[in-house]
Amino acid sequence: MVDMAPYIIFAIALVLIVLGVAFAVINFKRKKKTPVDYYALFVMGIIWLVLGILFDMAVFWILGLVFAIFGILNKAKWKKNRRTWKDMDKFEKKVVITIIIILLILVVIGALFFILRDYGLM
């Protein structure tokens, strides 16, 4: 039986790359630029730091440390640059909902893949 893991990983990576390119195109077309959300950068840094330490992946914990430090250094700008759901226009809300749905579908597909693999069906 053919091992499907490389194909599934490639497909998920391809979807994430397409989403990233679409997000970049949408952001570059915007007239007003969105300022950096340093609070989100700090939170992402803490998450990467913890996951990098847990999984013994130096790249993640080093980047996490850099992001967290960069976020802390700009703590005064946390409130100023925070964007909430009510601050987004209709188009931005649709984009966020679409991205969340696509990511949830990818998580479900990944979970199904691992379940099928554990039961020997793949």
The per-residue pLDDT for 122 is: 67
Residue with tokens 């007239």: 31
Query: In this predicted model, what pLDDT tens digit does every residue of 15-64 receive, in sequence order?
Result: 888 888 887 887 777 767 777 888 989 999 999 899 889 888 888 889 99
CA angle 110, 115, 120 (to 5 degrees): 125
> How do residues 97-117 score in pLDDT, each as one tens digit?
998 998 899 889 888 888 888
Asked if pLDDT for residue 85 goes beyond 90, the answer is: no
Q: What is the pTM of this model?
A: 0.57
- 83 versus 107: the higher-pLDDT residue is 107
Closest listed residue to residue 43, CA positions, set 63, 62, 59, 64? 64
